[in-house]
Amino acid sequence: MKQNLALFDLDNTLLAGDSDYNWSLFLIAEGLLDAKTHQERNEQFYQDYKNGCLDIYAFLEFQLKPLSQHPKKFLDALHLKYMEKVIRPMMTKKAQDLVNQHKSAGDLCVVITATNSFVTKPIAAAYGIAHLIGTDPEMVNGEYTGGVTGVPSFQEGKVTRINQWLAARGQQLTDFNKSYFYSDSHNDLPLMKLVTHPVAVDADATLAEYAKQQGWAVISLR
């Protein structure tokens, strides 16, 4: 029997909140970023994302720069604190149950997110999902440079990245009997249109309307 593929967006889908946006707020709260300059730009980028007009490279320059200002060892310790204080309260039982359902069915489970993999890999692991496709921060000699490696997994970039990831495994999307993609955001429509079972999760207005027109499944994990 063919295996099924279950793809999960992370922010505002599996999580009842946004790990990227809240990472900046966390760094401000920790006294590692200047509140005034950072908070304003963080809000603007978040609005651009929601409006579908985010300049991903400008955002990544903003978001990845703080990683280049601290040793990785320090950042890893900081992330543990972030997980406990901010992320775990956003992890819902419904989301975990959904992941467990796919895992127990033997489906290949992957978190695919525009948020950088430094922030998201431990979150995917906390859900028990071994595979993560995130936007990859550049590293040189084991430290972050503030740059990005490869294609950001954002909008059409998610299609590129899942195709690359599957190809590296000797697979393609059409190899799966069923392919699911759970997302809250209209930014994910390029990939949602390619899977056999797109599911709108606590969807934004644009995605909710599109899902309704297409007769897609609509659920809440809150």
Q: Could you tell me the maximum CA-CA distance found in the chain, to the nearest angstrom?
A: 56
Local structure of residue 79 (DSSP, 8 states): H
Of 11, 20, 136, 202, which is the active-site residue? 11
Minimal CA–CA distance to 134: which of 8, 4, 3?
A: 8
**DSSP 3-state assignment of 87?**
helix
Length in residues, the chain: 222
> How many Å apart are CA 102 and CA 87, to the nearest integer?
22
Cα distances (angstroms) measured from residue 59 to each of 40, 143, 170? 13, 20, 33
Amino acid at 126: A
> How many Å apart are CA 176 and CA 148, to the nearest integer?
30
Cα angle 22, 25, 30 (rounded to 5 degrees) comes to: 125
**DSSP 3-state assignment of 196?**
coil
Active-site annotation holds for 20: no
**DSSP 3-state assignment of 136?**
strand
Of 9, 18, 136, 184, which is the active-site residue? 9
Local structure of residue 34 (DSSP, 8 states): -
Active-site annotation holds for 107: no
Q: Please list the active-site residues.
A: 9, 11
